Amino acid sequence: MKAIYLTIVLAPLIGSMIAGLFGWRIGRCWAHRVTIAGVTISTLLSFWVLAGFIWGESQVFDGPVYTWLVSDGIRLEIGFLVDKLTAVMMATVSFVSLMVHIYTIGYMADDEHNWPKESRAGTNSYQRFFSYISLFTFSMLMLVMANNFLQLFFGWEAVGLVSYLLIGFWFTRESAIFANLKAFIVNRVGDFGFILGIGAIAMYFGTLDYTEVFAHAPQYADTVVPILGGVSLMTLICILLFIGAMGKSAQMPLHVWLPDSMEGPTPISALIHAATMVTAGVFMVARMSPLYELSETALSVILIIGATTAFMMGLVGLVQNDIKRVIAYSTLSQLGYMVTALGASAYAAAIFHLMTHAFFKALLFLAAGSVIIALHHNQDIQEMGGIRRYMPITWLTALIGSLALIGFPGFSGFFSKDAIIEAVGHSGLFGSGYAWVLLTVGVLVTALYSFRMYFLVFHGAPRMDDHTRHHLHESPVVVTAPLVLLAIPSVVIGWLTVEPLLITDWWQTGDWNPLVVAQAHDSLHTLRAHWHGAAAFVEHGLHALPFYLAIGGLALAALIWWVLQALNPRIDELVQVFAGPVAQVLRNKYGFDDLNQRVFAAGALNWGRSLWTQGDRTLIDGAMVNGSAQTVGWLALRFRQLQTGYLYHYALAMVIGLVGLMLFFMQR
């Protein structure tokens, strides 16, 4: 099996290397062929591994591939831990990545027009993009298959590095460079906490291997670290690790990089937001469940931060006019739902929502990209409208993705989102009541921003210019085929997986369970106790508050942005005027960007400028370098006065010196 697992991770890497190093030679066609072939191999083998856990008798694999080095008794290894959690993640990541690879053939076909004509920066950009996204897939697979913290950190940083390259792919645009630098710096803030958490584990446990750390963790449950008057070791480790997750999974206040990542091409927006980078934090916390179950403080912190992010970021999505940014804020909100589930110890529900979200969010991004292609890269939803008549496949798949996103009964998002709300409602941890209220009201907000975008884009009178409208047509099959293939699981995957993932003990393989939940924290027990099948769960959902809020939000969105929009094309603007200062706060994104730019960024610049002027120019160059030279010159000027050339002056100096030496030795 080790050879199979190596093939899964190395196939995308080999494709990436061929396209990246030899793309200029093999050309565009072979660049996408080799990368898609590599990801296809990973996808097929990942599904084979998952099938082995579902229908076969596959056993958990936990072993090293090779030892990098041994330092002070700590083995630093590259190794794989493949259990059911890993298998689900491998299948999700590789399948979504494959769809994005295929879609990219159509989306990036005319990429040369996105580069300045006088510049050679866009040379072989098509091949380079395929190399990057294939490398991204390799990095994420290394992360989810890791069996130790060293490899986890490698995959963690690798996805951050490749995201930097992809967000700033069109690097001749100043906005793209600003966005990728912002993503890189914000993630470094989170990663600082992450590596401190790993360092604390190495210090106290003496190993970086998952199974050894998990086995010995209960022994440190009562250990107190002499920091801030005494902090639980497990609380410290868990919060430090979660700070890293806040950066990768874009939780407040480290969320600011994610909307700006829309500066990258749409395929990478889908890959980052659906199945790779932003889900890394959610996966990491779920994988570390044996540690988090030993700290209720850490769980409450996660619960509160996740719920706050889910609600507040959903509100910001209501005032966005860039089609990709609306979906980006949707991602922030849905990540908040996943993180809240983690805080409620409903790790299975978090992974379940991660999986369903990967399909319908990738679908929404790729559908948005299809619209953007048709509108010649215009992304303003205020300049769209009526596209349903021209792009029926894109319209229908976008509708499916939107219904899954709002948790409409029967769609995949319904099963996972309702399970999270149920779990949080039955959690007894501090902050669970606050979180339940925000998540429940967030269902209304989700329906509003989702169908505001849907109605403004696909319904009503066309608002684009006549030239664009006359050339509107459905995207080519290489673009629409991934939409259809993603729409299918967006509808059916919830029906097929809700029971094994949430109700049964499917996660258990022999004595190994990747999702450890303390009995006192089991927030899914009520759902299990009253489970009567997926159909009954849907029926129950039809009588629950989240359903009424979702339908109410959908109806209100239809009233405002479909019915009233037809009567008054300025209705969206009037709604925001009516909202007054609230809309302004949302447009300013609660001031987080201004705070970062004016306080942290400007403060760092001012501090650097002060160090340059006062430290470098005044102290080092002025006082130390130039000052020492001037001092030597001044002393030389004074001492040269002693060189008179008269013999009696020198004799007098010798006498004075001898007398001085005699007096010195007489005193001793």
C-alpha closest to that of 434 among 524, 307, 318, 290: 307
83: helix, coil or strand? coil
Distance CA 323, CA 553 (A): 19
Structure tokens at 166: 């992809």
What residue spans of 2-80 are helical by DSSP H? 2-54
Domain limits of the chain? Answer: 295-587, 592-667
Residue type for position 27? G
What residue spans of 55-169 are helical by DSSP H? 84-107, 125-144, 149-167
Task: Give the CA dihedral 423, 425, 427, 429, nearest 10 degrees.
Answer: 130
Beta strand 61-71 with 74-82 is antiparallel
375: helix, coil or strand? coil
Number of Cβ within a 10 Å radius of residue 314: 27
Number of Cβ within a 10 Å radius of residue 668: 4
pLDDT for the residue numbered 1: 80
The percent of the chain in helix, strand and coil, each rounded to the nearest 5, is: 75, 5, 20
Distance CA 243, CA 259 (A): 19
Cβ(169)–Cβ(271) below 8 Å: no
Cβ(52)–Cβ(58) below 8 Å: yes
> Does the bond joining 253 to the residue before it have cis omega, within 30 degrees of 0?
yes
pLDDT for the residue numbered 196: 93
C-alpha closest to that of 240 among 202, 290, 194: 194
Residue type for position 450? S
| Residue 75 backbone dihedrals phi, psi, to 5 degrees | -85, 125
pLDDT for the residue numbered 505: 85
pLDDT for the residue numbered 242: 94
Cβ(332)–Cβ(262) below 8 Å: no
Sites in the chain below the pLDDT cut of 70: 668
- Say what the pTM is: 0.88
**Cα→Cα distances 244→157, 158, 281, 339, 419, Å:** 11, 14, 7, 13, 26
**Cα→Cα distances 378→229, 272, 369, 409, 509, Å:** 56, 21, 10, 33, 50
DSSP track, 166-198? HHTSSTTSHHHHHHHHHHHHHHHHHHHHHHHHH
94-110 burial: b if 16+ Cβ within 10 Å, else e: bbbbbbbbbbbbbbbee
Structure tokens at 111: 């990429």
pLDDT for the residue numbered 668: 63
pLDDT for the residue numbered 623: 78
pLDDT for the residue numbered 293: 93
Half-sphere CA count of 81, side-chain side, radius 13 A: 20
The predicted-structure confidence for 7-54, as pLDDT tens digits, reads as follows 999 999 999 999 989 888 888 888 999 999 999 999 999 999 999 998
Structure tokens at 189: 């803030």
Distance CA 444, CA 441 (A): 6
Structure tokens at 262: 């829309």
Structure tokens at 73: 């008794």
